[in-house]
């Protein structure tokens, strides 16, 4: 677990732009047809965006986030999906173009076995669900599997919802689910070019049913 946290912190430092926190909600959203959305969305969306601190500006951060709570989620093999809301806040007076999102766990999340997790994402509160490629790797790969690129308006926000479930034969696992925000056209070999994106996430556990 400590290794996962070190990886997450190093990913944030490398990207130098966004710190993501999350709010997890019990239960399973209905299918997109007739889905009224996450019941906690209105309260979550109303939370103010924090201002950049002096340290944030020194580090070149452009985006802050607001979330509650931050303790992470647990999924059960063959059980109901869990959902997570993430809000990105652009603190600048200019639009941030083509910000895409990706999801990643470390290789040892499930003891080097395939985690057998299904991840989906939608624009909150009631967009259509889309599959997300879950990257399983130890090195920081924000562009791998990145999708859903959208502009983040000047002083604007974007709230997305993730839905995560485990297959019936999913192994036990524990680690950090990294949520990366990155410019879709960034050069992966140029860290300066990748500034304006960033990385955050939440603790994720796959545990046997109770």
- Please report the domains of the chain, with CATH numbers, ordered by start residue: 2-30+41-206 (2.60.40.10)
**Predicted TM-score (pTM) of this structure:** 0.79
Q: Which of 121, 118, 86 lies closest to 198, judged by CA? A: 86
Q: In this predicted model, what pLDDT tens digit does every residue of 88-130 receive, in sequence order?
A: 888 889 999 999 999 999 999 999 899 999 999 999 999 999 9
Q: What is the distance between the alpha carbons of residues 168 and 62, in angstroms, rounded to a whole number? A: 40
Give the pLDDT score at 31.
Answer: 42
pLDDT at res. 15: 37
Strands (E), 6-146: 23-25, 63-65, 73-75, 82-90, 96-105, 117-123, 130-132, 134-136
Query: For the residues of 147-173, what is the DSSP string, one character each?
Result: EEEEEE-TT-EEEEEEEEEE-TTPPPE
Question: d(Cα 179, Cα 86) in Å, to the nearest integer?
Answer: 9
Determine the pLDDT at residue 35: 61
Stretches where the chain sits below pLDDT 50 are 1-34
Nearest C-alpha neighbor of 70 from the set 23, 26, 104 = 23
CA distance 149 to 19: 18
Quote the pLDDT of residue 181: 79
pLDDT value for 12:
37
């Amino acid at each position: 677990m400590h290794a996962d946290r070190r990886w997450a912190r190093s990913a944030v430092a490398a990207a130098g732009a966004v710190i993501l926190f999350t709010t997890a909600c019990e239960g399973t959203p209905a299918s997109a047809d007739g889905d009224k959305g996450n019941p906690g969305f209105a309260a979550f969306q109303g939370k103010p965006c924090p201002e950049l601190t002096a340290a944030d500006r020194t580090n070149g951060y452009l985006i802050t986030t607001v979330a509650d709570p931050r303790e992470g989620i647990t999924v059960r093999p063959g059980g109901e999906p869990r959902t997570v809301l993430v809000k990105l806040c652009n603190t600048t007076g200019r639009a941030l173009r083509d910000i895409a999102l990706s999801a990643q766990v470390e290789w040892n999340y499930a003891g080097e076995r395939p985690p057998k997790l299904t991840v989906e994402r939608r624009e909150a509160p009631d967009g259509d669900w889309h599959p997300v490629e879950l990257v399983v790797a130890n090195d920081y790969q924000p562009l791998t599997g990145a999708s859903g690129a959208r502009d983040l308006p000047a002083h604007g926000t974007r709230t997305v919802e993730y839905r995560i479930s485990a297959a019936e034969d999913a192994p036990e696992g524990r680690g950090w689910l990294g949520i990366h925000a990155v410019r879709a056209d960034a050069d992966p070999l140029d860290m300066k070019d990748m500034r304006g994106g960033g990385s955050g996430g939440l603790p994720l556990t796959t545990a046997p049913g109770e």
